[in-house]
Structures are given as C-alpha cells and as structure tokens.
Amino acid sequence: MSTEFISRNYDVSVKNVRINVAAIHRSGTREPVVFLHGFGSTKEDYADIIHYAEFNDHPFLAYDAPGCGETECESLSDISIPFWWIPRWQ
C-alpha cells in the first residue's frame, strides 16, 4: 500500500483567468479517483485515502478549488459555476 502522495502546484489559464492550482496526487494502475471538495474544505480533507486498503493502487487527485486552501487565482470575481461549466463558444 502506497502511503505517500505528491503535493504540487499547477499553473493553468481558464478563459483568460490565471489560476495556480494546489493539488495532491498519487499514481496507480487501478481506476482513478478525483476528489472535489465543497466550500470550507481543502484537498487535505482527502489525504487520508492513503491509509485505506480499499484504495490501494488507485491513482487519485485532490485539489483546492479557487479561493480555497492554497490555490491562488488572479481574479476571484471572475470565478463562478457558469465559469466552469458553460462552454466558451456559447
């Protein structure tokens, strides 16, 4: 059982808004798991996955949403639910 994960930041640009996304992840050969936290939570809420045998060898990704935890966003006022889900071409 892997008891470690990698903590890393990723610079991304979404609809011309720069976001530095803080994430934890682990590789593996089974089905991947992606954790999306709610308001008031952070990626660390899912870090204990490494202690559960059921998740052995499952790659996972947990990240801090913009405005939460260690993720930084140059313009939080531009972030909203439609920002993430409405295709740019609409």
The model carries a pTM of 0.78
Q: Sketch the domain layout of the chain as residue ranges.
A: 6-85
Query: Per-residue pLDDT for 86 more than 70?
Result: no
Give which of 14, 25, 26, 28 is closest to 73, Cα–Cα: 14
pLDDT number for residue 70:
94
Cα 5 to chain centroid, rounded: 13
pLDDT digits (tens, 9 = 90+) for 5-62: 999 999 998 888 899 999 999 999 999 999 988 878 899 999 999 999 999 999 999 9
